């Protein structure tokens, strides 16, 4: 009798009869010199119908892995994971307490998924069946091994958080972030600057090397969670995994705390950091200093330090985004006759031409004299906002000239003033008509 494989499934095939034996150990055929030979086997039969001896008997009792997961042989990786996930949740030990059959199916599904999810193992299994992966599949001593091997396909939440998981994973926590503040002048914000900032952060205690335990002692394993850092609370069939309140998730308890750090494993320390502030930062922005924050309690990466920017209010300029605004007063004669005036900028003085007849409130744009964008570096504009300033007091000569100008204004009324006077005249005339109509009634 010979074991062969057809499309990944094992079969038993009959071999030619042997000579001169009472019971052939190779093909189970009875033979004798008197009566000839008599075969007790069929030509081809599935391996499940004929029990094998020795090492092959284990393969005979195993179900086909594709059948276990309920998928066909052309299944893709995503569908394979979904099928295993469905069976794992269905037969999860926490949902089927004291059900040995469910635990067996849970392990069986895990073994099938372990083989079929590995391309090399799957190829050997498709060609040779269970014998092709003998000794390479399974190997799960308990349910915790399955959680550790395949917990990642559940996102670390279905098994660990909802059911309580099998084995607790060691989670390295990142250190906390810290904040510092820096104040800049507008000129510093425009060009960029390097500043030294002071902040207080906790660093590993030198006396206990960050363990929190006094020299010569060691932290003890937490008795409540048995070093797992998490406990499982059960309510009916629902089990929820939470952080151990006794050790706060550390899995260890310090019985003899360090005198220098009081068992925390860290001590506060004031440090000076050199911060490169880019050009164009605005009030409320922040600069990130990578891994300059608090140290991790688990030996993981440190947190970040965030430097918050405050820009002082400028005496002349008002900022709106990347643009700067400056208010420039003009006299009556400058607005009428036009002039050249010098405008202060962040880089020095610049001359601006004010044309004749400039109206109060007109804005002149000086391109490229604003603030740079902190990301692109493109500079905004300086907006010159003009307004005509009316003097509160004039001397005798100025008053005489203004009176002469007023007489000329009555003879040569400007277009805007003329239209305004016409609207006022029409308004009062309509008011007079309404009064007379009311009196007649």
264 and 355 assigned to the same domain: no
Give the length of the chain. Answer: 441
Residue 337 and residue 307 in one domain: no
Residues 187 and 305 in one domain: yes
Assign residue 219 the CATH number of its domain: 2.10.230.10
User: Are 199 and 303 in a shared domain?
Assistant: yes
Residues 188 and 259 in one domain: yes
Between 21 and 146, the higher pLDDT residue = 146
pLDDT above 90: percentage of residues in the chain: 33
Residue 276 has pLDDT above 90, yes or no: yes
Provide, rounded to the nearest whole percent, the portion of the chain with pLDDT above 70. Answer: 70
Structural domain contains residue 168: no
Chosen domain end from 10, 25, 55: 55
CA distance 79 to 75: 6
End of a domain among 33, 55, 77?
A: 55
Whether residue 431 has pLDDT greater than 90:
no
- Residue-number span of the structural domain to which 364 is assigned: 318-388
pLDDT bin (cut points 50, 70, 90) of residue 439 is low
Neighbouring CB atoms inside 10 A of 96's CB total 16
Indicate whether 112 belongs to any domain.
Answer: yes
- Rg from Cα positions in the chain: 45
Question: Which of 219, 239, 218, 238 is CA-nearest to residue 230?
Answer: 239
CATH number, position 90: 1.10.287.110
Say whether both 306 and 221 belong to one domain: yes
Residue 158 lies in a domain: no
Looking at residue 412, its pLDDT comes to 59
Q: What pLDDT digit, counting tens, does each position of 365-377 carry?
A: 999 999 999 999 9
162 in a structural domain? no
Per-residue confidence band for 432, with pLDDT thresholds at 50, 70 and 90 = low
Q: Does residue 161 lie within any of the structural domains?
A: no
If asked whether residues 127 and 189 sit together in one domain, one would say no
420 lies in some domain? yes
pTM across the whole model: 0.52
Whether residue 113 is contained in a domain is answered as yes
56-70, 81-95, 135-149, 166-180: least confident range: 135-149
Q: What is the pLDDT of residue 182?
A: 95
pLDDT at 209: 81
How far apart CA 266 and CA 204 sit, in angstroms, is 4
Residue 13 has pLDDT above 60, yes or no: no
- 336: domain CATH number? 2.60.260.20
Q: HSE on the CB side for 392, CA within 13 Å?
A: 0
What's the rounded mean pLDDT across residues 224-250? Answer: 79
Contacts of 136 (CB under 8 A, 6+ apart): 115, 121
My answer on whether 337 and 358 are in the same domain is: yes
Same domain, 215 and 282: yes
**118 CB burial (10 A radius; 0-12, 13-18, 19+):** middle
pLDDT, residue 441, reads 63
* Look-up of token digits 């605004």: 325
Instruction: Considering only residues 417 and 243, tell me which one the structure prediction assigns the higher pLDDT.
Output: 243
Same domain, 138 and 38: no
Please tell me the total count of domains within the chain: 5
> Are both 42 and 73 inside the same structural domain?
no
Is residue 335 one of the residues assigned to a domain?
yes
What is the SS3 assignment for the chain?
CEEEEECCEEEEECCCCCCCCCECCCCCCEEECCCEEECCCCCEEEHHHCCCCCCHHHHHHCCCHHHHHCCCCCCCHHHHHHHHHHHHHHCCCCCCCCCHHHHHHHHHHHHHHHHHCCHHHHHHHHHHHHHHHCCCCCCCCCHHHHHHHHHHHHCCCHHHHHHCCCCCCCCCCCCCCEEEEEEECHHHHHHCEEEEEEEEEEEECCCCCCCCECCCCCCEECCCCCCCCEEEEEECCEEEEEECCCCCCCCEECCCECCCCCCCCEEEEEEEEEEEECCCCCCCCEEEECCCCCCCCCCCCCCCEEEEEEECCCCCCEEECCEEEEEEEECHHHHHHCEEEEEEECCEEEEEEECCCCCCCCEEEECCCCCECCCCCCECCEEEEEEECCCCCCCHHHHHHHHHHHHHHHHCCCHHHHHHHHHHHHHHHHHHHHHHHHHHC
Check whether residue 222 and residue 301 sit in a common domain: yes
């Amino acid at each position: 009798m010979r074991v062969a494989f057809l499309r990944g499934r094992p079969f038993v095939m009959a071999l030619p009869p042997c000579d001169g034996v009472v019971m052939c150990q190779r093909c189970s055929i009875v033979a004798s010199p008197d009566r000839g030979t008599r075969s007790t086997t069929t030509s081809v039969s599935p391996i499940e119908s004929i029990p094998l001896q020795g090492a092959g008997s284990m393969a005979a009792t195993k179900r086909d892995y594709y059948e276990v997961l309920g998928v066909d042989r052309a299944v893709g990786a995503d569908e394979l994971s979904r099928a295993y996930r469905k069976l794992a949740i269905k037969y999860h030990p926490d949902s089927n307490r004291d059900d040995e059959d469910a635990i067996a199916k849970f392990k069986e599904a895990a073994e099938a998924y372990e083989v079929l999810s590995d391309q090399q193992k799957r190829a050997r299994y498709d060609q040779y069946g269970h014998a092709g992966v003998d000794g390479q599949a399974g190997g799960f001593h308990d349910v915790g091994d399955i959680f550790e091997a395949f917990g990642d396909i559940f996102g670390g939440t279905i098994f660990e958080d909802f059911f309580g998981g099998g084995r607790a994973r060691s989670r390295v926590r990142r250190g906390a972030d810290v904040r510092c503040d820096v104040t800049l002048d507008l000129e510093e914000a425009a060009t960029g600057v390097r500043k030294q900032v002071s902040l207080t952060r906790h660093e590993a205690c030198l006396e206990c090397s960050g363990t929190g335990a006094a020299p010569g002692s060691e932290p003890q394993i937490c008795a409540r969670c048995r070093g797992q850092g998490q406990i499982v609370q059960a309510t009916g069939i629902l089990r929820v995994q939470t952080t151990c309140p006794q050790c706060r998730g550390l899995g260890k308890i310090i019985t003899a705390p360090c005198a220098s750090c009081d068992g925390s494993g860290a001590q506060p320390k004031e440090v000076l950091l050199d911060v490169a502030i880019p050009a164009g930062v605005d009030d409320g922005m922040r600069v990130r200093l990578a891994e300059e924050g608090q140290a991790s309690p688990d030996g993981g990466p440190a947190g970040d330090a965030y430097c918050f920017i405050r820009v002082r209010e400028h005496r002349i300029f008002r900022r709106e985004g990347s643009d700067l605004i400056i208010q420039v007063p003009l006299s009556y004669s400058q607005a009428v006759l036009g002039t050249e005036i010098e405008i202060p900028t962040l880089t020095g003085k610049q001359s601006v031409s004010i044309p004749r007849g400039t109206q109060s409130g007109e804005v002149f744009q000086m391109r490229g004299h604003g603030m740079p964008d902190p990301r692109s570096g493109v500079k905004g504009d300086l907006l010159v906002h003009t307004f005509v300033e009316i003097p509160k007091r004039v001397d005798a000569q100025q008053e005489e000239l203004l009176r002469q100008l007023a007489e000329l204004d009555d003879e040569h009324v400007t277009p805007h003033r003329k239209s305004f006077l016409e609207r006022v005249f029409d308004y009062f005339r309509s008011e007079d008509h309404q009064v007379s109509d009311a009196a007649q009634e």
